[in-house]
């Protein structure tokens, strides 16, 4: 049975022990299972295009619910979208509690509802990256101004890094009642190096297969982007560091990949977080060396709680007696933590 545990501000929430499915052992299998088997249209969305201060727009996909009910903001990972299966899993957990939810698609990541393989390009000479927090801050401020409802957020992978960085930048003024981050790459340089060896290299090309065309398209559409992006470097890139050096860093004002990783890693912002926050990662996450989790735990403020099971992979955490009865522990645990602050009043 789940034990009642106290979160960082003293609120109680159910913290069940994670038991990896016996039929899905290992970090790699845990990481890929959901993507291969879960439905990508589990939530009926209502789309909103929110105009941004720089003349572009954020594509928001809403899960509607009772007026005045809590709102869960969810942030996807690298090259994901509101249709990522773990995003819809978290929203489904929120729906069971009678909440509303909104998935923020990072710029250039929104999918065409009629063709989920087609990404909708954004209208400015920029993309998105692990340290870009202005869009999320704008969304939270917008929701706080127009909705008389408590707000909470969950970020997964890159989305977790963005969320934690914003929480550190804002301190106790984040506008969120509580937050959770799943499988966060706290140290971007360490994560990039980790993915360059062994079987982990197999994860790189599926991401780069869509990242490279986005960067090349930005260079074709916008003279400002063309002047910054190393087009040939993008075409040659076979690792995150090579791509970030050629495109992400110069396009967004960093001196290079190392500067981008240093300034954008959430590790350096954890000590300033003032919002009750749950950080949940597996030690066998293929995207990050396990020792980074201890560094993050040591650096974090007292408002941050860590759960680091030995198993679970990257945004996996699959349990259940049989494949057709799979459950997703991290999604359930994160929403239960938030509920302790949204439904019981928080602090």
Q: Which of 129, 194, 314, 341 is catalytic?
A: 314
Take residue 244 and report the two structure tokens written for it.
């970030």
Please name which of 241, 235, 300, 244 lies closest in space to residue 267, comparing C-alpha atoms. Answer: 300
Residues 6+ apart with CB under 8 A from 254: 248, 260, 263
Q: Which of 61, 187, 230, 285 is catalytic?
A: 285
Are 149 and 66 within 8 A, CB to CB? Answer: no
Q: Please name the residue ranges forming H helices in the chain.
A: 27-37, 85-96, 134-146, 158-170, 188-194, 204-221, 223-228, 231-236, 240-243, 249-251, 257-264, 291-299, 329-342
Q: Which of 69, 84, 157, 237 is catalytic?
A: 157
Q: Is residue 301 annotated as a catalytic residue, yes or no?
A: no
Q: Is residue 194 annotated as a catalytic residue, yes or no?
A: no
Q: Is residue 157 annotated as a catalytic residue, yes or no?
A: yes
Residues 6+ apart with CB under 8 A from 181: 154, 155, 156, 160, 161, 163, 164, 266, 277, 278, 279, 280
The catalytic residues are 157, 285, 314
């Amino acid at each position: 049975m789940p034990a009642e545990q106290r979160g960082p501000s003293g609120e109680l929430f159910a913290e069940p022990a994670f038991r990896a499915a016996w039929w899905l052992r290992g970090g790699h299998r845990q990481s890929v299972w959901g993507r291969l088997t879960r439905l990508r249209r589990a939530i009926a969305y209502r789309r909103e295009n929110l105009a941004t201060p720089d003349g572009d727009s954020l594509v928001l996909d809403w899960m509607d619910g009772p007026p005045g009910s809590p709102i869960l903001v969810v942030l996807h990972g690298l090259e994901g979208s509101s249709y990522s299966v773990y995003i819809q899993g978290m929203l489904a957990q929120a729906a069971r509690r009678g909440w509303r939810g909104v998935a923020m698609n990072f710029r250039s990541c929104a999918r065409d509802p009629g063709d989920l393989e087609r990404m909708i390009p954004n209208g400015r000479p920029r993309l998105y990256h692990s340290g870009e927090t202005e869009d999320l801050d704008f969304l939270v401020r917008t929701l706080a101004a127009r909705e008389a409802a408590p707000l909470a957020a969950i970020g997964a992978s890159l989305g977790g890094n963005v969320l934690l960085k914003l929480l550190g930048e804002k301190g106790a003024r984040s506008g969120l009642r509580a937050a959770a981050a799943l499988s966060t790459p706290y140290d971007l340089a360490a994560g990039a190096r980790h993915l360059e060896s062994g079987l982990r290299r197999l994860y790189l090309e599926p991401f780069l297969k869509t990242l490279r065309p986005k960067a090349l398209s930005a260079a074709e559409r916008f003279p400002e982007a063309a002047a910054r992006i190393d087009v040939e470097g993008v075409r040659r890139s076979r690792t995150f560091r090579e791509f970030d050096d050629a495109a992400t860093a110069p396009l967004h004002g960093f001196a290079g990949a190392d500067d981008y990783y240093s300034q954008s890693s959430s590790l350096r912002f954890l000590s300033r977080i003032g919002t009750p926050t749950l950080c949940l990662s597996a030690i066998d996450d293929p995207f990050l060396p396990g020792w980074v989790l201890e560094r993050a735990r040591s650096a974090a403020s007292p408002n941050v709680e860590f759960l680091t099971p030995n198993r679970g992979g990257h945004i996996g955490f699959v349990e259940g007696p049989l494949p057709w009865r799979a459950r997703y522990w991290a999604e359930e645990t994160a929403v239960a933590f938030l509920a302790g602050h949204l439904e019981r009043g928080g602090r």
